[in-house]
A and B are shown apart, each in its own frame.
Chain A
Amino acid sequence: MDLKTEVLIIGGGATGAGIARDLALRGIPSLLVERGDFTSGASGRNQGLLHSGARYAVNDPEAARECIGENRILRRIAPHCIEPTEGLFVSLPEDGPEYRANFIRACAAAGIDALPLSPRETLAMEPRLNPRLIGAVQVPDGAIDPFMLVVENVRDAESRGARFLIHTEVTGLIRDGLRITGARVRDRIADKSYAIAANWVVNATGAWANLILGMAGIRIGLALSKGSMLLTNTRLSERVLNRCRPPSSGDIIVPNDTVSILGTTSLREDDLEHYEVTAEEVTFLIDELSKMIPDVKNERFNRAYAGVRPLLQSQEASDDREISRGFALIDHGSGSGSAGLVTITGGKLMTYRLMAEKTADFLCERMGLHVPCITHLQPLPGAGLGNTLRDRLLHLRRQTPAARGEILCDCELVPREAVDAILREGKVRELQDILHRTRLAKGTCQGGFCVYRLLGLLNELHGEQGSDGSNVVLRSFLEERWKGIRPILWGTALKEEELIESIYKGLFNLVPEEPGRTGGGAT
């Protein structure tokens, strides 16, 4: 056995990182393995919404209470990951006043501050809203940066002794009779396999839960629901905008730094590795959300993306939205003969900390430890630092011209020093890892004009791939980028894409990957 730990956590999403931090704060050693980079799954592919819980107030009061509780905690422990925008639940004529009345009552019952606003007040706050609206209710929604949240959890846990291995996938579980005692893993970049022994194995892989459980011959009832989102080029509103009607598709616009995220759809998905945003979804989202902000029809979009929600299947239901968004902690020891293996899944980004708390509570109880959870009290290490585009701009402005240095990403103002600092830390292993940790390539051009500037910096990181290393990195970046921009290519975005394509193909002579070509093959 090559590595040994007390708790092996599988999955580097918000839940896994949260568990690692919770355990670290309780003094319990852990090691987390993640197949890709942190937030590669649903944690990095959502709306970035800091729920007030109001969305669930009418249908699922328990989830609503859970949300508002976590909302208050996150504002306290992770203020630097949050933009406290507030949210509006907007009633259009077709939504009617009845739901609005129910909604206000339900929010009160769940302990969510809900302030009714007249149409005039609403339009004064958000002038781009449909002027036909009949009213709105203000609730404490906000925007949250899930990448930063997860990385901050990791940073804190790491400083307290937790270990993290990214780009490391689980290839099998190690069984000793009726007990799971670890996992076999493979470093995907170095292509090395080894084993990790652990007293406890926590399966925090979200939508991939059954992939891990299958290695122990277990299967749980989990519905997979694809949610697609669109990203605008500029920010449409100051606040989160929701339709004040029963939860449905295409009912939310979340501001996120310089952009807005339009969401979402909800479609059953079976293939976790190959799913995409369809043209129908794009059309649907634009049609539906233009009812709330008519300008959406003329908006330029930067990208489309989709995430897969793991929904616990408690009963047969026709619409995924009726399946509880609640989470479950499953001990596979009792019924399934796999003691030491627990699965935590379902839930949502908003409840990641609560899910981690429950998981750590359970493990402590089994270990016979009596250490209370303090993640709701202890702020994350970077609390107090701002990272919005405005903050970056103010930072640049404070610097003297000589110290300002090169700006790598024009759209989002990422200076070279930010990337240098990440590289110096030595934790990242791939281009995408850097992109996760900065705003690089998240602006208008989606990296089209800046990623090639990064290649020189990456040389060291990819030295082992030889002279073709840069091409491999670039090609895989462009493939990934293409998936996101293909669904929104029309108008100016299409023109810009033609220009970018001519740069890569015409100037850099980058050719599409030939099938069967050896040498720097796709990784």
Chain B
Amino acid sequence: MTKAEKKPVLLPKLPDVCVRCATCMAACPVSRVTPRFPGPKQAGPGAQRFRSASEASVDDWIELCTGCHLCDTVCPAGVPISEMNMMAKAKYLDERGRTFRDWLLVRSDLFGELAARFSKIINPLMKNGILRRLLDALLKIDRRRDLPGYEYPTFRRWFRTRSTAEGATGRRKVAYFYGCFTNTNETDVGKAAVEVLEAHGLEVVVPPQRCCGIPRLGVGDLKGAREMGRRNIEMLLPTVREGIDIVFSSTSCGLMLRHEYSRILHLPGAEELAGSLFDICEFLLRLREEEKASPIFQPLSLKAAYFAPCHLRSLNIGFPALDLLRMIPGLDVRMLEADCCGLGGLYGFKTEKFSIAEEIGKDLTEAAARMNPDIILTDCEGCRMQVRHLTGLRVIHPLQLLRDALNPS
């Protein structure tokens, strides 16, 4: 269990900016499905009026916020509601203490490499009914949720040992922030990223990096998240200062690096890093728009649905993956009209929150059933897990399909 921070969290004075219009109430996926969460307006600027840095928190509902940021994106008054909730959640959990489960889950980056190495043993174990019942009973990790399997070699190892594509050296460099999940659980996303970037005439470098820290932020562990951020900035800034742009393929890692490091964690150097940090599809789209590279996509005859993750929406960069996918001839790709998949990262793995995540996901299930696509594409690993769980369809990163369209083999 992490030690509670004794220093009171100074809450920003933001409720004064809210005009009480309740637009956020219509956007919140959580309050839509459970009366236990009163919605962003009340849990954010409303409750902020009775929060006091010197007094104990009373609003335990704050834990039910998934941190999807949809409230922020719709607020016409510009109130950073989810930030307010994050600070309140941090204070509440600092006082109450975090569970062993939360301690464990946010450290998946530490045992991920090891688990990947022993994936042949670990993966069947994670599907073992008895073990899952135990995890459910002891740690409250819901047994109805599939745990993601580990892969070996890891992306990092694969990248180190691969032979660089011919003629790739000496080109314009781009750095890749792959994220923990790509590294140990979905290495093909990383491989696709590298191949697509190389197909666009770039040399890919992988600077040293760690977990972005968003899982820790999710359980309100500001101190832990700040520590992760501090180290990442330290490791990534030299790349930035060499004039190399950094791209990310996970929109949640990206939101953390690009926005939360400065906006919530106020880390020195965060702004400088953010200036050179791009979503990988945003980056590719710009390259193509500037006509610096435009490899031809081969036709793919598929009916695909694209689902925009909440954290992508929160990045305010439009839907660059969708724009790229639309360049693939023959691909029938349409937006999957659902607001949030409901997983909320680690949120949906927790027994007490499983049903909330399921309920939120119902919209998406129905929308997918109406479209009946062959495949669903989405930029976030959490969304991919949840959409697979909800629809049973093949769900991949848009990069993986772009790669297929570039190398039809």
Interface residues of A (CB under 8 A from B): 233-235, 238, 258-259, 299-300, 389-390, 393-394, 397, 401-402, 404, 407, 410-411, 413, 443-445, 448-449, 492, 495-496, 499
Task: Note all chain A residues with C-beta closer than 8 A to B22.
Answer: 410, 449
For B25-41 the 0/1 string (1 means CB < 8 A from A) is 00000000011101001
Tell me whether A410 and B16 are in contact (CB under 8 A): no
Tell me whether B15 and A233 are in contact (CB under 8 A): yes
With beta carbons under 8 angstroms apart, the residue of B36, B46, B48 that contacts A410 is: B46
Asked whether B18 is an interface residue with its Cβ less than 8 Å from the other chain, the reply is yes
Tell me whether A492 and B19 are in contact (CB under 8 A): yes
Tell me whether B52 and A495 are in contact (CB under 8 A): no
Task: Note all chain B residues with C-beta closer than 8 A to A411.
Answer: 20, 46, 49
Contact A233 to B49, CB < 8 A, known contacts A449-B20, A495-B77: yes
Bound complex: CA of A445 vs CA of B34, how far in Å?
Answer: 25
Could you tell me the distance in whole angstroms from the C-beta of B193 to the nearest C-beta in chain A? 43
Could you tell me the distance in whole angstroms from the C-beta of A60 to the nearest C-beta in chain B? 34
Tell me whether A444 and B20 are in contact (CB under 8 A): yes
Task: Note all chain B residues with C-beta closer than 8 A to A413.
Answer: 42, 46
With beta carbons under 8 angstroms apart, the residue of B13, B34, B46, B50 that contacts A401 is: B34
Asked whether B138 is an interface residue with its Cβ less than 8 Å from the other chain, the reply is no
Ranked nearest first, the 10 interchain pairs of A and B with the lowest CB-CB distance are: A300-B16, A496-B19, A401-B35, A389-B50, A445-B20, A258-B49, A393-B58, A234-B49, A401-B36, A410-B42
Chain B 143-188 residues near chain A, CB threshold 8 A: none
Bound complex: CA of A390 vs CA of B47, how far in Å?
Answer: 10
Bound complex: CA of A410 vs CA of B43, how far in Å?
Answer: 10
Chain B 223-271 residues near chain A, CB threshold 8 A: none
Residue of chain A at shortest CB distance from B34: A401
Known: A402-B35, A407-B42, A443-B49. 4 other contacts (CB 8 A): A233-B16, A390-B58, A410-B41, A492-B18
Residue of chain B at shortest CB distance from A498: B19
30 A–B contacts, CB within 8 A, in A order = A233-B49, A234-B13, A234-B15, A234-B48, A235-B50, A258-B49, A300-B16, A390-B50, A390-B55, A393-B47, A393-B50, A393-B58, A397-B58, A397-B59, A397-B61, A401-B34, A401-B36, A407-B38, A411-B49, A413-B42, A413-B46, A443-B49, A444-B18, A444-B49, A449-B20, A449-B22, A492-B19, A496-B19, A496-B20, A499-B19
With beta carbons under 8 angstroms apart, the residue of A258, A390, A499 that contacts B21 is: A499
Asked whether B114 is an interface residue with its Cβ less than 8 Å from the other chain, the reply is no
Asked whether B131 is an interface residue with its Cβ less than 8 Å from the other chain, the reply is no
Could you tell me the distance in whole angstroms from the C-beta of A449 to the nearest C-beta in chain B? 5
Residue of chain B at shortest CB distance from A259: B49
Give the contact-size bracket for chain B: 20 to 34
With beta carbons under 8 angstroms apart, the residue of A234, A394, A407, A499 that contacts B16 is: A234
Bound complex: CA of A24 vs CA of B34, how far in Å?
Answer: 49
Bound complex: CA of A455 vs CA of B50, how far in Å?
Answer: 27
Residue of chain A at shortest CB distance from B10: A127
Tell me whether B54 and A404 are in contact (CB under 8 A): no
Could you tell me the distance in whole angstroms from the C-beta of A478 to the nearest C-beta in chain B? 16
Task: Note all chain A residues with C-beta closer than 8 A to B61.
Answer: 397
Bound complex: CA of A401 vs CA of B41, how far in Å?
Answer: 18
Tell me whether B60 and A397 are in contact (CB under 8 A): yes
Asked whether B110 is an interface residue with its Cβ less than 8 Å from the other chain, the reply is no
Task: Note all chain B residues with C-beta closer than 8 A to A449.
Answer: 20, 22
Task: Note all chain B residues with C-beta closer than 8 A to A299.
Answer: 16
Tell me whether B20 and A410 are in contact (CB under 8 A): yes
Could you tell me the distance in whole angstroms from the C-beta of A37 to the nearest C-beta in chain B? 26
Task: Note all chain B residues with C-beta closer than 8 A to A390.
Answer: 50, 55, 58
Tell me whether A492 and B49 are in contact (CB under 8 A): no
Tell me whether A394 and B58 are in contact (CB under 8 A): yes
Bound complex: CA of A299 vs CA of B17, how far in Å?
Answer: 10
Task: Note all chain A residues with C-beta closer than 8 A to B52.
Answer: 235, 238
Tell me whether A448 and B60 are in contact (CB under 8 A): no
Tell me whether A258 and B36 are in contact (CB under 8 A): no
Task: Note all chain A residues with C-beta closer than 8 A to B13.
Answer: 234
Bound complex: CA of A397 vs CA of B58, how far in Å?
Answer: 8
With beta carbons under 8 angstroms apart, the residue of B15, B35, B38 that contacts A444 is: B15
Residue of chain A at shortest CB distance from B56: A390
Bound complex: CA of A499 vs CA of B34, how far in Å?
Answer: 28
Could you tell me the distance in whole angstroms from the C-beta of A296 to the nearest C-beta in chain B? 12
Chain B 283-305 residues near chain A, CB threshold 8 A: none
Could you tell me the distance in whole angstroms from the C-beta of A218 to the nearest C-beta in chain B? 48
Residue of chain A at shortest CB distance from B41: A410
Task: Note all chain B residues with C-beta closer than 8 A to A444.
Answer: 15, 18, 20, 45-46, 49
Contact A238 to B20, CB < 8 A, known contacts A410-B42, A444-B15: no
Task: Note all chain B residues with C-beta closer than 8 A to A397.
Answer: 58-61
Bound complex: CA of A218 vs CA of B45, how far in Å?
Answer: 54
Task: Note all chain B residues with C-beta closer than 8 A to A300.
Answer: 16
Contact A492 to B77, CB < 8 A, known contacts A234-B15, A407-B38: yes
Bound complex: CA of A449 vs CA of B25, how far in Å?
Answer: 13
Bound complex: CA of A94 vs CA of B52, how far in Å?
Answer: 31
Bound complex: CA of A455 vs CA of B77, how far in Å?
Answer: 28
Tell me whether B16 and A492 are in contact (CB under 8 A): yes
Task: Note all chain A residues with C-beta closer than 8 A to B20.
Answer: 410-411, 444-445, 448-449, 496, 499
Tell me whether A238 and B50 are in contact (CB under 8 A): no
Task: Note all chain B residues with C-beta closer than 8 A to A407.
Answer: 38, 42
Could you tell me the distance in whole angstroms from the C-beta of A401 to the nearest C-beta in chain B? 4
Residue of chain B at shortest CB distance from A494: B19
Tell me whether B17 and A404 are in contact (CB under 8 A): no
Task: Note all chain A residues with C-beta closer than 8 A to B48.
Answer: 234
Residue of chain B at shortest CB distance from A258: B49
Residue of chain A at shortest CB distance from B20: A445
Could you tell me the distance in whole angstroms from the C-beta of B315 to the nearest C-beta in chain A? 27
Bound complex: CA of A396 vs CA of B16, how far in Å?
Answer: 24
Residue of chain A at shortest CB distance from B58: A393
Residue of chain B at shortest CB distance from A393: B58
Bound complex: CA of A196 vs CA of B26, how far in Å?
Answer: 55
Residue of chain B at shortest CB distance from A402: B35
Task: Note all chain A residues with C-beta closer than 8 A to B38.
Answer: 407, 410
Could you tell me the distance in whole angstroms from the C-beta of B147 to the nearest C-beta in chain A? 29
Bound complex: CA of A495 vs CA of B48, how far in Å?
Answer: 20
Task: Note all chain B residues with C-beta closer than 8 A to A410.
Answer: 20, 22, 38, 41-42, 46
Bound complex: CA of A429 vs CA of B183, how far in Å?
Answer: 68
Chain B 111-160 residues near chain A, CB threshold 8 A: none
Residue of chain B at shortest CB distance from A397: B60
Task: Note all chain A residues with C-beta closer than 8 A to B60.
Answer: 397
Task: Note all chain A residues with C-beta closer than 8 A to B46.
Answer: 410-411, 413, 443-444
Could you tell me the distance in whole angstroms from the C-beta of B57 to the nearest C-beta in chain A? 10
Could you tell me the distance in whole angstroms from the C-beta of B284 to the nearest C-beta in chain A? 40
Bound complex: CA of A495 vs CA of B19, how far in Å?
Answer: 7
Could you tell me the distance in whole angstroms from the C-beta of B50 to the nearest C-beta in chain A? 5
Query: Which of B13, B34, B36 has most A Cβ within 10 Å?
Result: B13
Could you tell me the distance in whole angstroms from the C-beta of B174 to the nearest C-beta in chain A? 43
Task: Note all chain A residues with C-beta closer than 8 A to B55.
Answer: 390
Bound complex: CA of A259 vs CA of B61, how far in Å?
Answer: 23
Bound complex: CA of A238 vs CA of B17, how far in Å?
Answer: 22
Residue of chain B at shortest CB distance from A299: B16
Could you tell me the distance in whole angstroms from the C-beta of A437 to the nearest C-beta in chain B? 20
Bound complex: CA of A445 vs CA of B18, how far in Å?
Answer: 10
With beta carbons under 8 angstroms apart, the residue of A259, A404, A448 that contacts B35 is: A404
Task: Note all chain A residues with C-beta closer than 8 A to B47.
Answer: 393
Residue of chain A at shortest CB distance from B79: A492
Could you tell me the distance in whole angstroms from the C-beta of B374 to the nearest C-beta in chain A? 40
Residue of chain B at shortest CB distance from A389: B50
Bound complex: CA of A519 vs CA of B15, how far in Å?
Answer: 41
Tell me whether A258 and B50 are in contact (CB under 8 A): yes
Could you tell me the distance in whole angstroms from the C-beta of A361 to the nearest C-beta in chain B? 42
Bound complex: CA of A389 vs CA of B47, how far in Å?
Answer: 10
Bound complex: CA of A444 vs CA of B17, how far in Å?
Answer: 11
Could you tell me the distance in whole angstroms from the C-beta of A444 to the nearest C-beta in chain B? 6
Residue of chain A at shortest CB distance from B17: A492
Tell me whether B49 and A235 are in contact (CB under 8 A): yes
Bound complex: CA of A394 vs CA of B58, how far in Å?
Answer: 7
Could you tell me the distance in whole angstroms from the C-beta of B11 to the nearest C-beta in chain A? 10
Query: Which of B20, B34, B41, B61 has most A Cβ within 10 Å?
Result: B20
